[in-house]
Structure 1
Amino acid sequence: MASEKNALVSSPKTQKVIKLVPPDGGWGWMVLFGTALSNIFNQSMLSLFSLLYGDALEAMGHRTQGAAIVMSTMLFVTNFGGPIAGAVVKLTSTRFVAVTGACFCTSGIFFSGFSTNIWHLVLTYGVLLGLGLGFIQNSSFVAINSYFKLKKSRAVGLANVGTGVGQTLMPHLVRYLLEHYGFRGACLMLSSLSLHGIAGTLLIQPVEWHLKQVEEEVVVDENLHLLQDKTRKTSQSNGDAQNGNEKSNFGSKKELNGGKINKSETNGVNAAATPAIRPQKQTLMKKLYDLFGIALLSDIRFLNIVIGTALAVTSIQNFSMLYPFFLQHVASMDKQQTANCMSAVAGADIAGRLILPVFQDKYKIKARWMLIMTCTWLIVVRQILAYQTNIEVLILMSCLYGVGRSMIIVARNIAISENCRMDQVPAAVGLGMLTMGIIVPPAGYFLGWIRDYSGSYVTCITAQNVLLVILLVTWIPDMIYLLLKEKRQKKVDAEQPET
């Protein structure tokens, strides 16, 4: 009886199709190597400013305020260069933008060695290096995003390991170069090392050269095929009839016009019956609107994501700036103990970039969920850390903080890219950087004001954690809604009878 039922129910027909998919490896590993190489010598410059340019600024007659001007300019240009990079990627290629960014970085470091006043540093370190870093950050992520699908988080983590390695090793190299070659010699040597970034970004090839062919079975909709065949036959018969009419009309009109032929009729179009349709020209504003992906800003969920990631980045950047002062003024540590804690953060950060993405890829956890778990982890760790003064406990808490910080850096752009189409990723990442450029400076100044007004590092760390609480409050309901929606859809699909 069961066999008769199975015979009555026709199984759906399938056919094999060839799809082109990202390689999830292959030449993608070379892209990762090139990006990591560029990050070692370029992205690490963010943490080297005080060490490399501190004495030069003092010789120019500037101290903390002058350093703040140069650093603020660099961060502003880096973040606002993101949308520009996204637009240029659409017009050219990720490789062109990455190589251009690496050239800007090398030029900025090289010319900064000849600075004689603060405005030279603003132009070289602030503008040239800042623009280069913005171009590299955007284009390298777009390239990695196009090469990897299943291993995306792992790939981004490996590429960002270069930044951690640079931040760990480069300070020792800079100290050596300053002692033996002076400020100008150190800048020239660092710019020569930055040339490796250009070589690295040249490894970014168009993903179309390396796409894999995958054979998949898809269900054939017979009704759709019948409809397509009917439409094709109808259009062919109409076309034959129209060609016959045109030939007869052409012959009669040739006689009536004394052998002269109208251009519209030679193209098979009757100008009197069918008016010519001209494509509408896009205005400049419309082109810019599409180029910079402004339509993404009309999506409430996208706005929620970019604002949340900006708040998370603001929180960890401000804590990184505050932490050495906390260790020295609250925990009463000397410079060596402070350096040990900072090294613990850097080492754990590198380990986190290698381990956590593997965990995420294995269990297929969305980047936003990883950020939610990471922010919860950081809130607990930092709030406990704020009350500690023992060196052993602080080193342990530094390691725990470094692991959590690594996931913020790895997952922020992935979270943005998960909410848009592949062709929108360059613009989306650029808008995310732009949001950070808008939010980070005022939020950072406000957190600094809280520290000065309250006179308490604990209060300031708590305020930094409040930014992460805002992310949790705005993200968790939306993620729960999406999870329930996905479960309902799966239930509906399971209940549908097979045809």
Structure 2
Amino acid sequence: MLSKKNSLVSPRTQKVIKLIPPDGGWGWMVLFGTALSNIFNQSMLSLFSLLYGDALEAMGHRTQGAAVVMSTMLFVTNFGGPIAGAVVKLTSARFVAVTGACFCTMGIFFSGFSTNIIHLVITYGVLLGLGLGFIQNSSFVAINSYFKLKKSRAVGLANVGTGVGQTLMPHLVRYLLENYGFRGACLLLSSLSLHGIAGTMLIQPVEWHLKKVEEEVVVDETLHLLQDRGSRKTSQSNGEPQKIELTNENEKANWGSKKTLSNKELNGGKINKSDANGLNGSNGNGTPKKQNMLTKLYDLFGISLLSNMRFLNIVIGTALAVTSIQNFSMLYPFFLQHVASMDKQQTANCMSAVAAADICGRLILPIFQDKYKIKARWMLIGTCVWLIVIRQILAYQTNIEVLIVMSCLYGFGRSMIIVARNIAISENCRMDQVPAAVGLGMLTMGIIVPPAGYFLGWIRDYTGSYITCITAQNILLVILLVTWVPDMLYLLMKERRNNKTNTEQAQT
């Protein structure tokens, strides 16, 4: 009888105008600017040996000196992530991206005047490393804010710039070194790096381009009373749906956070109690709570995310995946020359096949993910299975034709780890937490990549076997699968139970 009575009473609704990302529009210009910056800045990661190798030998350093400079650069890049995330929250993604591009230009420019390894550590290691860290964090935050449904596709397109730069820039660097020498090459490359500053200037605040979408949401009566008591600004309903337009400056600045009722997506279409009662960052009468310095730093760097076991699982898993592909990329040329007995031209052909397939993967796989609405973590899980199989087969091959095919298959799968790692992190936090979350992800890579890479190198030297080392690299991906698959299956079953419950409630 009670259920029959409830079915006759129409639920109370409110019309809410939500501000959502444009999923295009000026976002395509942001992608173009980011890709332009990646072509001339991110590609410098793969140019170190070619550009600075002879200069290091002239300074009296070889492999060990190169390792010191590269390790410094990677350390500063990853550990600069949390700093970049904090600065993004204090200023804007555009400011941090432009600052990072300026650091990159200065690092390349001043490295041309290096006379000893300390100069290279400061210019290439610190300045360029800090610039790359700032660009990586801020550009993803900007893209993440402009795109929701097409996010994976957008990140893939932006990262195509890195692949293009890694394909074309080595030939340009070789030409510049032959015709203008080391210093001239650095000066001309720094002038090209200025295009990165122009590209990052295209990152406009997303608040300028948000779209208004009207939605009708069901509001629980108890929560509505709490909202009335907290705000004392709503009028009593006369039976008609209420219309709330979220257009003030505070809501525009936090369009993706709890304050704009985005919890509707997280709480089954109901308004969060803390929002209704004015408990999100306020004391109930509209005035913000006072915070001490430690609390502000705690919020600024997103330290609360570290208390979430799922978040820790994600950032550690992505760091293991990045370690695995980075170490394989370093090992692969030696494997081709020493195990498959290939000359330099054949080795270059295989490496070019990896790069070309990587670019294709960054263009194709994100479209597939967006079309079928596959979560980034599932894409990473599928990619890890793909890479484990491909690399384990590749480790036993010596035929040039087979290795080129396997190189293409490997590069195609590798692209998804580069595209989806930050998306996987952003999918598990609020919009306002994304800068800090990406920064903590970079910090985790900075902690895990060096010792794990060193351990994998030790395995290769101790066993004398490239096959054993590749197997060890695959074990890192197996660890990711073991820790991620049970959690993802649990979330999948939970989502299906919730959908089943909502369907039964709708039918009654």
Find the residue that maps to 1:61 and give its secondary structure.
Answer: coil
Partner of 1:373: 382
Using the TM superposition, name which of 417-426 and 281-290 deviates more: 281-290
Partner of 1:449: 458
Find the residue that maps to 1:115 and give its secondary structure.
Answer: coil
Q: 1:18 Cα shift?
A: 1.7
2:467 counterpart of 1:468? no
In 1, Cα distance between equivalents of 2:367 and 2:98: 29
2:412 counterpart of 1:403? yes
Partner of 1:332: 341
Q: 1:226 Cα shift?
A: 7.2
Partner of 2:30: 31
Partner of 2:303: 294
Unmatched 5+ stretches in structure 1: 237-277
Find the residue that maps to 2:413 and give its secondary structure.
Answer: helix
In 2, Cα distance between equivalents of 1:100 and 1:50: 26
Cα 1:209/1:227, change in 2 over 3 Å: closer
Equivalent AA in structure 2 for residue 419 of structure 1? N
Partner of 1:127: 126
Partner of 1:250: none
Residue deviations 1:14-33 (CA, integer Å, cap 9, x gap): 45332110000000000000
Unmatched 5+ stretches in structure 2: 236-286
Superposition map of 1:286-435 within 5 A: 286-435=295-444
Cα 1:58/1:151, change in 2 over 3 Å: same
Are the counterparts in 1 of residues 22 and 147 from structure 2 also a CA contact under 8 Å? yes
Cα 1:114/1:489, change in 2 over 3 Å: same
Superposition map of 1:93-242 within 5 A: 93-219=92-218, 221=220
Cα 1:281/1:228, change in 2 over 3 Å: closer
Find the residue that maps to 2:217 and give its secondary structure.
Answer: strand
Q: 1:229 Cα shift?
A: 6.7
Q: 1:492 Cα shift?
A: 1.3
Residue deviations 1:401-421 (CA, integer Å, cap 9, x gap): 001110000000000001100
Residue deviations 1:360-399 (CA, integer Å, cap 9, x gap): 0000000000000000000000000000000000000000
Find the residue that maps to 2:153 and give its secondary structure.
Answer: helix
In 1, Cα distance between equivalents of 2:443 and 2:301: 11
Q: CA RMSD in A?
A: 2.2
Aligned length: 454
In 2, Cα distance between equivalents of 1:381 and 1:420: 33
Find the residue that maps to 2:341 and give its secondary structure.
Answer: coil
Partner of 1:272: none
Q: 1:497 Cα shift?
A: 4.9
- Of structures 1 and 2, the larger Rg is shown by 1
Equivalent AA in structure 1 for residue 484 of structure 2? W
In 2, Cα distance between equivalents of 1:330 and 1:422: 48
Q: 1:286 Cα shift?
A: 2.2
Q: Percent identity?
A: 88
Find the residue that maps to 2:370 and give its secondary structure.
Answer: helix
Partner of 1:264: none
In 1, Cα distance between equivalents of 2:224 and 2:196: 52
Equivalent AA in structure 1 for residue 192 of structure 2? L
Partner of 2:48: 49
Find the residue that maps to 2:16 and give its secondary structure.
Answer: strand
In 2, Cα distance between equivalents of 1:14 and 1:153: 33
Equivalent AA in structure 2 for residue 64 of structure 1? T
Equivalent AA in structure 2 for residue 159 of structure 1? A
Partner of 1:9: 8
Q: 1:9 Cα shift?
A: 2.8
TM-score by length of 2: 0.86
In 2, Cα distance between equivalents of 1:164 and 1:233: 56
Cα 1:232/1:354, change in 2 over 3 Å: closer
Partner of 2:279: none
Superposition map of 1:273-284 within 5 A: 282-284=291-293
In 2, Cα distance between equivalents of 1:286 and 1:233: 30
Residue deviations 1:208-249 (CA, integer Å, cap 9, x gap): 00000112222355676678779989999xxxxxxxxxxxxx
Cα 1:8/1:279, change in 2 over 3 Å: closer
